[in-house]
Structure 1
Amino acid sequence: MVETVVAAYLIGWVISAVGIFVASRRVGGHDPVPFQFVLSAAAGALWPLLILGAVEFSSVAAASSAAAHLDAPQHRLLASAPVVPLR
């Protein structure tokens, strides 16, 4: 099982390092960074944090969307209706 986790981490590291390297070459244009591949490999080593960040961002976006949806006028009317206790 340890070998599988290590292999998955290394595969993710290679894929993310190559993706970051290619993206930085496209975005950087004609002004390359001196140690671009080393920086891409170092950033690729942190790919699990990128996934956690993406999950956290999506949960914040979902909560924000839900809050905005509840603030819509049609929901205000329902929320301001009198509450009748059940007996």
Structure 2
Amino acid sequence: MNLESQPKPDESIEEGGLLRRFRCLSASEQGDLIYAALKTLAARCSLDPHHRFHSAEEIREECANEDLDERLGGTWPGA
């Protein structure tokens, strides 16, 4: 997916303020928040830098493989 088509962050949000709020969370809450953020990011674009070298058919075949670890599914575009 083209990065230009991605939603732009709200420029009015101060990064330092977000960091201070993040530090107020427990370690478990921080982990949950990071997990949710990475899951959202993985749904928007591939985290595999080599995905563009695979054909759509190769990607479909790989995703159809039942032995494929579900954690890797988010790295494939369209998964």
* TM-score normalized with structure 1 length: 0.29
Structure (1 or 2) with the greater helix fraction: 1
Choose between structure 1 and 2 for higher RCO, CA contacts under 8 A separated by at least 6 residues: 2
* TM-score normalized with structure 2 length: 0.31
When Rg is computed on C-alpha atoms for both structures, the one with the higher figure is: 1
